[in-house]
Amino acid sequence: MLEIFVRVNREGTPLSRSDLIFSMLKLNWRESAESLPEFVRLINEGNAFDIDTDFVIRCLFAVSGLGTKFELDQLRRKENVERLRTNFAPCCDAIRSMVDSVSRDCWCSSSSLLGGQATLVPFVYYLFHAPKHEVPTGQIESFRKAFFALRAAFLSAMRIADCGSSSGRSFAHWRKRRTTGFHSTGLCFG
C-alpha cells in the first residue's frame, strides 16, 4: 500500500522525505514503529539536544553505509533493511555516547548551540566504530578539536548563506538586527 501511495503521490501532496522513510521502515521492520520513538523519548530526557526521529534515522543510514541522504530506494532492498535493524542498538549506543561526550568533553549541552543536529552525525559515526562506542581517553582532546572545528565550519557556512541572501542591505539594517541569531556576531554587513 505504501509503495502505491509513494508512486501516486510523487506529483501530489508534499510530504517530508523523513515521513516517507519512517513509513517505509515501519512497513519493512515493524519493531521500528515503537523502538525509534521510544529511543527518541529516552535520549531526550535530561538534556537539550532535542534528538528527533529524523536524526536517528539519518545516523542509522550513515553507520549502515547507506549515506546520510534519505533515499527511499535504499529501503526496497531487504539486505539494507536488515543492516538497519542489526545496527539499530549499536547506533543508539553511539548516539547516547555522543550526547554524553559532547556534553562532558566539549561543554556543549544543546544542539541549538551548534546550528542544528546535522553537525553531530559524524560524531555518531565515529563513536559507532569506536571500541565500546566511547571516545578513547587519549583521543578526547582530538575529539574536542574536531567538534569545535566542525561546529565552526558549519556555523560559518550558515552565516555565509545567511549574509549572502542579504545583498544590497545596509550596515544600518544589520545593526538593527544584531540582537538575534547570527547577526549578533556583527559579521554580516550586507
Cell 510530504 -> residue:
15
CA 42 to chain centre: 17
CA angle 129–110–134, rounded 5-degree value: 20
The pLDDT of residue 175 is above 80:
no
- pLDDT band at 35, cuts 50/70/90? very high
- pLDDT band at 57, cuts 50/70/90? very high
Which residue in 86, 96, 52 sits closest to 66, CA to CA?
A: 86
Instruction: Provide the sign of the torsion angle of the four alpha carbons 70, 71, 76, 78, taken in this order.
Output: negative
Helices assigned H by DSSP within the chain: 2-9, 17-28, 32-43, 53-63, 78-105, 121-129, 140-164, 171-177
Across the chain, what does the average pLDDT equal? Answer: 79
Cell 546520510 -> residue:
68
pLDDT at res. 13: 63
Mean pLDDT of 117-126: 92
Mean pLDDT of 55-71: 89
Instruction: Read off the pTM.
Output: 0.75
Distance CA 43, CA 46 (A): 8
Instruction: Provide the sign of the torsion angle of the four alpha carbons 46, 47, 48, 53, taken in this order.
Output: negative
- pLDDT band at 173, cuts 50/70/90? very low
- Say if residues 43 and 99 touch (Cβ distance below 8 Å): yes
